[in-house]
């Protein structure tokens, strides 16, 4: 089992560009979560998805951020018109269902906006 796969590991974008972060959950996991970690801070929940459904996006900024988890393929976190404040580590996690499980996190994507 390859675990939760995220790519790219590092992403550099200029202000105003778009960033696309990908997450493939563990085999058999149908629940995906995105978290953001600012430098020297804890993890903040962004969005919770199941296949083709957004279950909870209460942690997503109202503008420029969107997420999807299509029937086929990885989950995508998309950030439009990036700004310097978007620079952070973005972690994806997955679980087999909505239960009392500790997540398995991916290795993260470190986004740097220059």
Partner 1 sequence: GENVEQHPSTLSVQEGDSAVIKCTYSDSASNYFPWYKQELGKRPQLIIDIRSNVGEKKDQRIAVTLNKTAKHFSLHITETQPEDSAVYFCAARLSNTGNQFYFGTGTSLTVIP
Residues forming the site for partner 1 (CB under 8 A): 31, 33, 35, 41-45, 48, 55-56, 58-59, 91, 95, 98-100, 102-108
| DSSP codes joined into one string, 40-87 | TS-EEEEEEEETTEEEE-TTS-SSSEEEE--SSS-EEEEE-S--GGG-
The nearest distance, CB 16 to partner 1, in angstroms, is 28
The nearest distance, CB 58 to partner 1, in angstroms, is 8
Report the alpha-carbon angle 78-31-4, nearest 5. Answer: 75
The nearest distance, CB 11 to partner 1, in angstroms, is 15
Residue 17 vs 110, nearer CB to partner 1: 110
- Asked if residues 25 and 33 have their Cβ atoms less than 8 Å apart, the reply is no
Residue 43 vs 76, nearer CB to partner 1: 43
Residue 2 vs 14, nearer CB to partner 1: 2
What is the C-alpha to C-alpha distance for residues 92 and 23, in angstroms, rounded to an integer? Answer: 6
């Amino acid at each position: 089992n390859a675990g939760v796969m995220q790519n790219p590991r590092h992403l550099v974008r200029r202000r105003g560009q778009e960033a696309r972060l990908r997450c493939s959950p563990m085999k058999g996991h149908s629940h995906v979560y995105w978290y953001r970690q600012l430098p020297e801070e804890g993890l903040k929940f962004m969005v919770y998805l199941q296949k083709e459904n957004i279950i909870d996006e209460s942690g997503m900024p109202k503008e420029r951020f969107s997420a999807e988890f299509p029937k086929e393929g990885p989950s995508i976190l998309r950030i439009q018109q990036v700004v310097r404040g978007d620079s952070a580590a973005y972690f994806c996690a997955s679980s087999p269902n909505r239960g009392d499980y500790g997540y398995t996190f991916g290795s993260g994507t470190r986004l740097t906006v220059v």
